[in-house]
């Protein structure tokens, strides 16, 4: 897989569901068989008015949430990948020796969700690619097959309570040993994590959740994450700005939605790191409220303050869905000519933006440069110069091989926002803990307890070499010095790779 001779990572409009005739025909056979013989999970088409076994209508408006082995498709865009997972699960169950892991995140999205169904699909594809590798490759295969269950917590994860109750009940009945994923950093996400990883001590592994307050060895002792924290993102951004604009003033813009842990911890992380870096912060923080009809007006009303602050850079502590509106408004500031180019830096949720023409025009002619700290980027290790990243390059090559083995039409667009890579790494981390729990001869019992114990041991020489970089889980359940990719957004809406950045300012191997 290549990025392209121009070094850009294309960000097209949301792609249509990929058509794979060879999968579609196989899926039809599986559906017919499921309807004929039944089983643990009854198949229902996504358009049915009723839900299938393990999945029920909950919430207002009602949505089908719950846990499935892939038999129930939560959205039309997920039919193909859930069919592939269901087929793999059938093979695993037929073998007799297996354990289950569940991938949990919102899969029925509403108008207030900041994620996209494309990102959901990509996460399931990444988890499946590693599941298939773990069940077929000699270097990953063990005594137990890996069964992948899918847990839909509903829009904004608001149906987390019922779903976590289901998962707790599956520890014995379905041999569940870990829960992965979790979507975005919200208050509901934190509640689900605490119920699983504290109240019931089920190992939980976050793939893309970055809010600092999610990991706590006391309140959630069995929750681990493979992504950097928002404080890590803020530290890396502050270090970059300190190098590039050492005497410039930095203005901070933040979302006041306290229910979104991402915004809160991104703001706190950056401000704390900026002070440590001795960055000159503007006296006042500019606030807005997401999800409001007034959001655009809030940004327009900030323009005078931006000019009066004489800032050379802005740190945007908010979601990507609001960032594009802010950048478009910023291009209309009256001081644009006198101020010159202003640099906007934000966090990893920038990848959820869907750039429109006004946004592109703002970057082309509005005197705005946009950068963000991404959790990972396609082929970042091949593009990074200077240090020896042979281990990281090998890990990424293994990920890429796993993907093209199961997706014959794999394209660059599948990797562009990092969701597939991070989901693969979360599943890979769980698999490594499971294989360690099996013991040297493969006969030791694999339980939630033994998998949790092995996750604690995945540090130092036992660190997981993931496609997104080394995952060295510390006592605080966070990865040590987890790398990120610093990307810029071009006037065409593409991402351009700048460099790999580390919270400590140097590679993990150099610590």
Res. 75: pLDDT tops 80: yes
Res. 57: pLDDT tops 80: yes
Res. 398: pLDDT tops 80: yes
In order of start, what are the domains of the chain with their CATH numbers? 8-227+391-479 (3.40.50.2300), 230-374+486-510 (3.40.50.2300)
The reported pLDDT for the residue numbered 41 is: 46
Among 45-49, 320-324, 379-383, which stretch is predicted with the lowest mean pLDDT?
Answer: 45-49
Contact at 8 Å (CB) between 336 and 455?
Answer: no
The reported pLDDT for the residue numbered 162 is: 95
What tens digit of pLDDT does each residue of 116-152 get?
899 999 999 999 999 999 999 988 889 999 999 999 9
What tens digit of pLDDT does each residue of 478-489 get?
999 999 999 999
What tens digit of pLDDT does each residue of 400-447 get?
999 999 998 887 667 878 999 999 999 999 999 999 999 988 889 999
Greater confidence, 25 or 68? 68
Q: What is the mean pLDDT of residues 236-259?
A: 87
* Banded pLDDT at 469 (limits 50, 70, 90): very high
Q: What is the mean pLDDT of residues 73-78?
A: 96
Contact at 8 Å (CB) between 330 and 359?
Answer: no
The reported pLDDT for the residue numbered 293 is: 81
Contact at 8 Å (CB) between 127 and 426?
Answer: yes
Torsions phi, psi for 379 (to 5 deg) = 55, 30
Res. 60: pLDDT tops 90: no
Contact at 8 Å (CB) between 106 and 119?
Answer: no
Task: Report residue 66 as tokens.
Answer: 């719950």
- For residues 418 and 333, give the distance between their C-alpha atoms in angstroms, rounded to a whole number: 33
Q: What is the mean pLDDT of residues 176-196?
A: 93
Res. 11: pLDDT tops 80: no
The reported pLDDT for the residue numbered 386 is: 67
Q: Which helix (H) or strand (E) holds 371?
A: strand 368-374
The reported pLDDT for the residue numbered 316 is: 97
What tens digit of pLDDT does each residue of 265-309 get?
899 999 999 999 999 999 889 999 988 888 889 999 999 999 999
Greater confidence, 222 or 111? 222
Q: What is the mean pLDDT of residues 211-223?
A: 81
| Closest by Cα among 467, 465, 463, 460 to 381 | 467
Contact at 8 Å (CB) between 12 and 118?
Answer: no
| Closest by Cα among 361, 352, 477, 484 to 416 | 352
The reported pLDDT for the residue numbered 5 is: 39
Mean pLDDT, the chain, as a whole number? 87
Res. 341: pLDDT tops 80: yes
494 CB contacts (<8 Å, ≥6 apart)? 8, 9, 10, 11
For the residues of 44-63, what is the DSSP string, one character each? B-TT-SS--TTEEEETTTTE
* β-bridge pairing 368-374 and 342-346: parallel
> For 300-330, what is the HEC assignment?
HHHHHHHHHHCEEEEEEECCHHHHHHHHHHH
- For residues 430 and 11, give the distance between their C-alpha atoms in angstroms, rounded to a whole number: 30
Please, how many CA atoms are within 13 Å of residue 126, restricted to the half-sphere of its CB? 32
β-bridge mates for residue 287, sequence order: 254
Q: What is the mean pLDDT of residues 494-503?
A: 90
Cis peptide before 61 (omega within 30 of 0): yes
Burial of 209 (0-12, 13-18, 19+ CB in 10 A): buried
pTM of the model: 0.85
The reported pLDDT for the residue numbered 1 is: 39
């Amino acid at each position: 897989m290549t990025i392209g001779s121009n070094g850009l990572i294309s960000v097209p409009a949301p792609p249509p569901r990929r058509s794979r005739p060879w999968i579609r025909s196989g899926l039809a056979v599986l559906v017919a068989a499921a309807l004929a013989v039944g089983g643990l999970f009854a198949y229902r088409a996504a358009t049915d008015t009723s839900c299938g076994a393990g999945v029920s209508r909950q919430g207002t408006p009602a949505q089908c949430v719950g846990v499935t082995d892939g038999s129930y498709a939560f959205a039309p865009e997920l039919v193909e990948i859930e069919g592939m997972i269901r087929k793999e699960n059938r093979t695993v169950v037929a073998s007799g020796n297996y354990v289950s892991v569940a991938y949990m995140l919102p899969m029925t999205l509403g108008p207030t969700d900041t994620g996209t169904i494309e990102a959901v699909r990509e996460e399931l594809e990444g988890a499946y690619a590693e599941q298939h590798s773990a069940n077929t490759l000699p270097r990953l295969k063990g005594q137990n097959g890996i069964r992948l269950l899918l847990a839909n917590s509903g829009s904004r994860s608001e149906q987390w309570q019922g779903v976590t109750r289901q998962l707790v009940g599956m520890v014995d009945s379905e041999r569940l040993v870990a829960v992965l994923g979790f979507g975005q950093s919200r208050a509901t996400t934190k509640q689900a994590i605490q119920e699983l990883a504290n109240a019931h001590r089920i190992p939980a592994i976050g793939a893309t959740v970055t809010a600092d307050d999610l990991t706590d060895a006391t309140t959630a002792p069995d929750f681990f994450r493979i992504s950097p924290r928002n404080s890590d993102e803020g530290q890396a951004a502050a270090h970059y700005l300190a190098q590039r604009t050492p005497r410039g003033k930095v203005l901070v813009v933040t979302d006041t939605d306290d229910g979104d842990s991402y915004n809160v911890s991104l703001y706190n992380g950056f401000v704390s790191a900026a002070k440590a870096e001795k960055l000159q912060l503007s006296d006042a923080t500019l606030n807005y409220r997401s999800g409001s009809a007034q959001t655009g007006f809030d940004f327009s009303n900030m323009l005078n303050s931006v000019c009066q602050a004489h800032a050379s850079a802005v740190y945007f502590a908010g979601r990507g869905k609001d960032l594009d509106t802010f950048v478009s408004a910023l291009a209309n500031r009256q001081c644009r000519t006198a101020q010159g180019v202003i640099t906007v830096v934000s966090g990893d949720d920038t990848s959820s933006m869907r750039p429109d023409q006004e946004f592109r025009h703002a970057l082309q002619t509005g005197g705005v440069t946009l950068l963000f700290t991404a959790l990972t980027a396609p082929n970042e290790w091949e593009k990074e110069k200077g240090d020896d990243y042979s281990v990281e390059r090998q890990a990424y090559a293994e990920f890429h091989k796993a993907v093209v083995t199961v997706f014959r039409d794999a394209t660059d667009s599948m990797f562009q926002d990092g969701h597939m890579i991070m989901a693969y790494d979360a599943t890979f981390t769980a698999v490594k803990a499971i294989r360690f729990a099996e013991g040297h001869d493969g006969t030791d019992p694999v339980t939630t307890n033994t998998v949790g114990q092995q996750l604690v041991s995945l540090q130092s020489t036992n660190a997981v070499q993931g496609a997104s970089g080394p995952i060295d889980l510390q006592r605080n359940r966070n990865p040590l010095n987890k790398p990120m990719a610093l990307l810029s957004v071009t006037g065409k809406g593409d991402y351009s790779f700048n460099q790999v950045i580390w919270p400590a300012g140097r590679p993990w191997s150099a610590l």
